[in-house]
Structure 1
């Protein structure tokens, strides 16, 4: 039986790709992805049939990967970060769910053998760059309202505030969306101090990576783009400076035992 690998390749640095992900790509004959993701992988993709579909064609990518596998080809559907976090894995399983409900006409998809290979997400890569920002309870919220109503997103931001979670904002801004991150900032300022540490991680682990440490009151959409991940600390997160070294960490409560 042919196999469909759902692969997360991490934030961009080749050294952060899991060996299991490399092995899965090597075991595949066909690779389905947004072209940039394959470019970042380099020569590990040599000798494979590439199916490059642009941004915005996620549904087509998932359908193609399922159909290629059902036709007998070992296929890898490749995503950056972790493919199960704001990525393609959920769409594959949604299509299978629709088939089981009789909403699709691809019964052959149900015979596909699927293996999900996790990867390091942007929030983990960003936290590692500044210390231990995700050291206590945290959540992630996507600010894109293309698929989720803004009213739902706003409710989740308030819940994050009342729960005092560290939060990583994915999709904080795009060419058509430039106000959501400022609104999220204003909501969180209702619940935590203005000097709460904030990380802006752009193109994390890639050649043009930039890391900025700022505070919640200074967070602004002008400093964020679609390649930026924003992580906001909780009320206990600390920004510490030792000479030219700076770190952000979120304590777990060990100070009570120290």
Structure 2
């Protein structure tokens, strides 16, 4: 097989946050596949074929990418942020597991700056101690699983990065998550709402959990719920590195 497949992270939005490794892969690509808004971030050029698709077509997209690479194309599957964080790297390997005849392909996962890290950097250092990330979308897992993980993360006093908090098709889940954390006695915790980080529309707001509202988040928002030790220093927030 003479083709190749790279699974690349485009970072949170600013072109300056795309790694040189990813830029080189994009420059060498014959085909780009991904969710349409992410493919639109790749400039068209002669010899490059763009394959935008719907957000719910991950496995089909992954299978198409493997097939094109097997045909000798140099394929890049793009995700925002990091491709291994709630993104396309898992989908590609799931498709590969179902198609062992493609396992000899040259495949690379090229990391990117995920929204959690970009948001944390622009807010200060809220992930300075132990933390976890939870995807609030229940498209691929039941709400009961999300609820259990939120409860255990709150009990363990992790800072919690919440991905995909609220969308038009899922308007209620984030409110339920806030209620669960408030009921756990965490109303005084600091919560960071980081929307469209590294883009001209960036907005970062920090409030107490008891004052957080569901309508403060959408699908372009990354939410970080601080641990018990997180504190303010001027406009910054940070979690001390020492344990309590």
On whether the aligned pair clears a TM of 0.5, the verdict is yes
Give the aligned length.
242
Residues in 2 aligned to 1:114 and 1:85: alpha-carbon distance in whole angstroms: 17
Provide the C-alpha distance between the structure 2 equivalents of 1:21 and 1:192, rounded to a whole number of angstroms.
43
Measured after TM superposition, the shift of residue 192 of structure 1 is 4.8
Counterpart mapping for 1:198-217 below 5 A: 198-217=191-210
Aligned match of 2:36:
35
Partner of 1:99: 99
Q: Distance in 1 between matches of 2:185 and 2:65?
A: 44
Per-residue deviation, 1:38: 3.0
Q: Structure 1, residues 180-218: CA drift from partner, whole Å, max 9, x if none?
A: 112212222244542211111111111211111111111
Instruction: Give structure 1 regions of 4+ aligned residues with deviation exceeding 2 angstroms.
Output: 38-42, 189-193
What's the TM-score, normalizing by structure 1?
A: 0.89
Residues 1:123 and 2:116 aligned together: yes
C-alpha deviation, 1:99, in angstroms: 2.6
**Equivalent of 1:221 in 206, 214, 218:** 214
Match of 2:53 in 1: 53
Confirm whether residue 253 of structure 1 aligns to residue 239 of structure 2: no
Paired residues for 1:21-32 under 5 Å: 21-32=22-33
Residues 145-176 of structure 1 show CA distances to partners (whole Å, capped at 9, x for unaligned) of 11101111111001101110000111111112
CA distance in 1, matches of 2:56, 2:7: 18
Aligned counterparts, 1:25-174, within 5 A: 25-42=26-43, 45-47=44-46, 48-100=48-100, 107=101, 109-174=102-167
- Pairwise CA RMSD of aligned residues? 1.6
Matched, 1:240 2:233: yes
Contact 2:175 2:214 in 1 (8 A): yes
Deviation by residue 1:90-124 (Cα, 9 ceiling, x = unmatched): 01101112234xxxxxx2x2221100000000000
Find the aligned partners of 1:174 and 1:193 in 2 and give their Cα distance.
Answer: 24
Please report the TM-score for the alignment, with normalisation by the length of structure 2. 0.94
- Residue by residue over 1:61-96, the C-alpha shift from the partner in whole angstroms, topping out at 9 and shown as x without a partner, is 111111100111011001110000000000110111
The 1-side partners of 2:58 and 2:93 are apart by: 13
Give the whole-Å Cα distance in 2 for the aligned partners of 1:40 and 1:233. Answer: 32
Distance across 2 between alignment mates of 1:249 and 1:19: 29
